[in-house]
Amino acid sequence: MSETSTSELVRDVTRQTSRLVREEIRLAVAEISEKGKHVGIGIGVGLVGAAGVLAWFGVGTVVAGLVLLLALVLPAWAAAFVVAAVVFAIAGVLVVLGRKQVAEGTPPLPEEAIEGVKRDITTVSERTHR
């Protein structure tokens, strides 16, 4: 049985540590990219933007509604406020959905990679104390 020299052991540990660090960095990048999809151009921001557009239309509806909408069924002012309330309710639902999507992506920490590094440190510490 041949014994491995100290320099070979150090070289092996260095090579393995380097590979492990590269793999953990790749995992962290992949995880942050996935979370970034929810925050960046993703669904959450789009829903918040859509809520803003609907809120703007709600303001327009109030103005136009005061003049024209439902003037034959209700007083014009009452009909306009009913339509505006519906548009604002839809905008409120979109804001809630958008905020939920944004919250799922923040903070964009690579949690799996962090856990992997912690496990690696624990394993190395346990083996060096033996």
Does the residue 17 lie in any domain?
Answer: yes
Does the residue 14 lie in any domain?
Answer: yes
State pLDDT tens for residues 80-112.
Answer: 787 778 778 888 998 999 888 887 776 666 777
Task: List all residues 6 or more positions away from 104 whose beta carbon is below 8 Å from its beta carbon.
Answer: 35, 38, 44
pTM flag (> 0.95): no
Rounded distance between C-alpha atoms, residue 123 and residue 77, angstroms: 71
Does the residue 128 lie in any domain?
Answer: no
Does the residue 52 lie in any domain?
Answer: yes
State pLDDT tens for residues 45-81.
Answer: 778 888 988 988 887 876 686 557 677 888 877 877 8
- Residues of the chain with pLDDT > 70: what percent? 82
Number of domains into which the chain is organized: 1
Structural domain including 14 reads: 6-117
